[in-house]
Structure 1
Amino acid sequence: MFAVYADAINPDDPLKGLVVGERPDPEVPDGWTTVTVKAASINHHDVWSLRGVGLREESLPMILGCDAAGLDEDGNEVIVHAVISDPSWSGDETLDPRRSLLSERYPGTFAEKVAVPRRNVVPKPAGLSMSEAACLPTAWLTAYRMLFTQADLNPGDAVLIQGAGGGVATAAIVLARAAGFRVFATSRDEAKRAQAVEIGAHEAFESGARLPQKVDAVIETVGAATWSHSIKSMRPGGTLVIAGATSGDAPKAAELTRIFFQQMRVHGSTMGTREELRRLAEFLAVTGTRPLIDSEIAMEDAAQGLQRVIDGDVFGKIVLTR
């Protein structure tokens, strides 16, 4: 079958290990099923895999991709949940210490077909296109969990979203506005600040700028570069939810005194559950909110999309279609 896969690891030039070609059809263990992929979206995870982060040499060749929407074996329109937990695990699958994502231990979604456990298939609401649905399982699900499960926010509360432009950040802006939060966003890029306002932020500021008010929560995926600003922007008792550290995980100041004295919470968050993915899809269907798609390109041209992610030249999600 057609597939886009990593055939080698190259930390300095990740696309050197990328192959667009043919791979065997997926194996389907007991309790698993196949989904015919109609759309898949690119994540930073795919670039990290090509750099060898989370993907071991002995697992190569490995089909890339975590996110997909397509047709199940009965022709139903479905969304693929990317977190593969141990068959014996019950409860929140993101807490399973033996969990993995598609394209780490098991072939991913950049292919004609992907095999997943039957429980990892979620119905796609009729109102969402395949491309829109393919945006949800990683970035949008991560943002949904950060906002609605971890941040302890109520309608009318203020939230700061750092690093407007990234997949999680743009999803968080759109979802937060739809949920009735007061939304502030930051970016070093003036154009991305303007785009953040267009998609729902009440105001957007240059990174590190003083906000007009203290916020109830911060959605943090940038890491070291914005950490101090995130802590200083919160009200006493506020919550910082972190799901990434693209600028590194060693800030110049940990702000520990401010955190304990002002009784702030720092809450880690990773992906989301199957039930949260189902609720996210229904939230979009009910509210009319739609994922922000930067562009749609043929899966055969995946290298172009991955290069744009490497360059940081993205606002929203790049979707690969078949």
Structure 2
Amino acid sequence: MPIMRAAFASRFDDADPLAALTVGEQPEPTHPEDDWVTVQVRATSLNHHDLWSLRGVGLTEAQLPMILGCDAVGVDAGGNEMVVYPVVVTPGDPRGVSILSEHFAGTLAERVAVPRSNLIPLPDGMAATDAACLPTAWLTAWRMLTTKGRVADADSVLVQGAGGGVATAAVALALAMGKRVYATSRDAAKRERITALGAIALESGARLPERVDVVIETVGAATFDHSLKSAAPMARIVVSGATAGHQPSVNLRRVFAMQLEILGTSMGTPGELYELLAFCAENEVRPVIDTVVPFSRVEDAFARLHSGDAFGKIVIDHTA
């Protein structure tokens, strides 16, 4: 059986997810349907989803070993550079869809199989290591701001917990759209990085000089009350994560008195990914990258992600 190098979950370990990571040989990808194609991977980026997989969230023992990774840029059989859209129609999943590395092998391998319709051409002049950051975290941020947050109608945006992939992407994108951006972080070093991007950095929970039109919320219970208090009348609070608690206390009087919208979202559509790629290419927006490492150091990349010290995306260069 043909084999390839890959990074995969070989078991689950909730207390120490890095212990469940294995780098070694796995079978070449197979095509479950005729419209699937194989892509030679050039670059990937890590997401917290990868750590959750190592903890056993969303996977079962029967699915192991599971190749990790959602994001990728690669080359198709015709030699074309393509960005991989990571959401796949999955009839057996209650959601009707799944992300690569849930039911189908992920992108942290030499090659990955995906439906042909999941491939979007890499824009001219865009580096593979930049584009590999976009399909999950940046796409989520794009949808939060545009489709859900209707940021075109907004002047100001608050991003909670900037430093992580989605939050940092939201800061960079909102700034590129010409919005006034406030961003919070408990970490002084990350606040310095936020300021360098052009946003107004604040300590978590600090009072804003104004109420904002859109709040990007990925933290959860630890910041949600602050998000409510920082929202202007008829503002949109868009939620895509709950890294610090998923059961916040919500002041419903404020919600209805201020006519606030609380909107949930996850990922985005292929069309939105195409729009995001075009926006970044046309406006010369480069993803915020913490570090780029060769695949031979993929374990170091996971350790960096797990540490919580990363600012922006961690990218794996498969060509290095």
CA distance in 1, matches of 2:297, 2:101: 19
How far is the alpha carbon of 1:154 from its aligned partner? 2.3
- The aligned runs of 1:98-137 (5 Å cut-off) are 98-137=96-135
- The aligned runs of 1:191-202 (5 Å cut-off) are 191-201=189-199
Identity in percent: 53
Among residues 1, 5, 30, which one is paired with 2:8 in the alignment?
5
CA distance in 2, matches of 1:104, 1:183: 34
CA distance in 2, matches of 1:99, 1:209: 39
Residue 245 of structure 2 aligns with which residue?
248
Query: Does residue 272 in structure 1 map to residue 268 in structure 2?
Result: yes
Residues 198-247 of structure 1: per-residue CA shift (max 9 Å, x gap) = 1231x110000000000001000000100000010001111100000000
Residue 209 of structure 1 aligns with which residue?
206
Query: Does residue 307 in structure 1 map to residue 307 in structure 2?
Result: no
- The aligned runs of 1:31-46 (5 Å cut-off) are 31-46=35-50
Say how many residue pairs are matched.
314
Residue 75 of structure 2 aligns with which residue?
71
Residue 236 of structure 1 aligns with which residue?
233
How far is the alpha carbon of 1:308 from its aligned partner? 1.4
How far is the alpha carbon of 1:79 from its aligned partner? 0.3
Residue 16 of structure 1 aligns with which residue?
19
How far is the alpha carbon of 1:261 from its aligned partner? 1.6
SS in 2 for 1:280: helix
Q: Is the 8 A contact 1:155 1:180 kept in 2?
A: no
Query: Does residue 151 in structure 1 map to residue 149 in structure 2?
Result: yes
Query: Does residue 59 in structure 1 map to residue 56 in structure 2?
Result: no
* TM-score normalized by the length of structure 2: 0.96
Give the AA of the match of 1:62. M
How far is the alpha carbon of 1:86 from its aligned partner? 4.2
CA distance in 2, matches of 1:224, 1:213: 22
How far is the alpha carbon of 1:97 from its aligned partner? 2.2
Residue 189 of structure 1 aligns with which residue?
187
SS in 2 for 1:2: strand
Deviates most, 152-161 or 75-84 = 152-161
Give the AA of the match of 1:13. D
Give the AA of the match of 2:195. V
SS in 1 for 2:126: coil
Residue 92 of structure 1 aligns with which residue?
none
How far is the alpha carbon of 1:299 from its aligned partner? 1.4
Q: Is the 8 A contact 1:154 1:181 kept in 2?
A: no
Among residues 303, 311, 319, which one is paired with 2:315 in the alignment?
319
Distance 1:200 1:56, change over 3 A: farther
Unaligned runs of 5+ in 2: none
Give the AA of the match of 1:2. R
Give the AA of the match of 1:84. V
CA distance in 1, matches of 2:228, 2:164: 20
Unaligned runs of 5+ in 1: 88-95
CA distance in 1, matches of 2:271, 2:133: 17
Residue 93 of structure 1 aligns with which residue?
none
Q: Is the 8 A contact 2:204 2:223 kept in 1?
A: yes
Give the AA of the match of 1:250. Q
CA distance in 2, matches of 1:155, 1:76: 37
Give the AA of the match of 1:71. V
Query: Does residue 162 in structure 1 map to residue 160 in structure 2?
Result: yes
Q: Is the 8 A contact 2:157 2:181 kept in 1?
A: yes
CA distance in 1, matches of 2:154, 2:263: 21
Q: Is the 8 A contact 2:154 2:213 kept in 1?
A: no
Residue 287 of structure 1 aligns with which residue?
283
CA distance in 1, matches of 2:189, 2:47: 21
CA distance in 1, matches of 2:87, 2:215: 25
Q: Is the 8 A contact 1:156 1:180 kept in 2?
A: no
CA distance in 1, matches of 2:202, 2:83: 35
